[in-house]
Structures are given as structure tokens and as C-alpha cells.
Amino acid sequence: MLKNLNAAQMKNIVFIVTDRNRNNLHVGLSADLIKTMNFYRKMPNLFFDAGQQLTRLVYFEELSSEAMAQERFKMINQFTRMQKEKMIRSVNPDWIDLTTGLDYEKMLKTGFQVKPVFSFMS
């Protein structure tokens, strides 16, 4: 499937996920962040035990090339925890899960329309 995408469509995203208690920070590299986050949610014991499930996307950057993304990934991986936390807080001070925004953006691109549950018109 990835072979069918041309270079302009390919995304190179470096991201950081954490668990609900912010005990663990995991740096990753992805071409499709929504699919990656769905994978993390479906595989709760992939990296840690179930209590430390990495499901909260707290930081991501999209880079223009795969080489740049790999360099940035290596750089962030070498950061101390304090440096990673400072970077996260600079763009996401409340550590909210950014996946919700990605899902909403995807719905807008695909033309998802919200239909009202109740109608007040007779």
C-alpha cells in the first residue's frame, strides 16, 4: 500500500506517546499517525504491562523528508526525560491526547457530516 503513494503524499511524523499517568514516554516514527495510534490501542501489552498502556499522543511533528524525520527521531530519542517534557509542554501544556484532533481532522477531509439526533423543526 505504501508503494502506491508518491513522495508528496507520504508523511514523515515523529511522535511521543505516554500512558495515562505520564510515567513512560515513547518516541516513535510513523507515516500514518492515526493507524499507528490505533495499533497502540489494540496492542496494550506491546511495550509495557496493561497498567502502562501507551495510548496518549502528547506530541508530534511532521517533517518534509524521511531522512529529516529519522534524524529528528534519533535526536529526540537521545533527549533526557526532562528535555522531552519541556518540549511537550511547549506545545501541549496540559498533556491532552492529540489523537482526538487527528480523528476530527480526518473526518473533515473525508467529508464526514454530523447529522442531528433531534430535530426541533416540525
Q: Please report the pLDDT score of residue 19 as a whole number.
A: 87
Q: Please report the pLDDT score of residue 76 as a whole number.
A: 97
C-alpha cell at 78: 537521545
State percent of the chain over pLDDT 70: 68
Q: Which domains does the chain have, with CATH numbers?
A: 2-41+51-99 (3.40.1440.10)
Is-contact 70 28, C-beta < 8 A? no
Report whether pLDDT(2) > 80.
no
Greater model confidence, 65 or 108: 65
Q: Please report the pLDDT score of residue 54 as a whole number.
A: 82
pTM of the full structure: 0.75
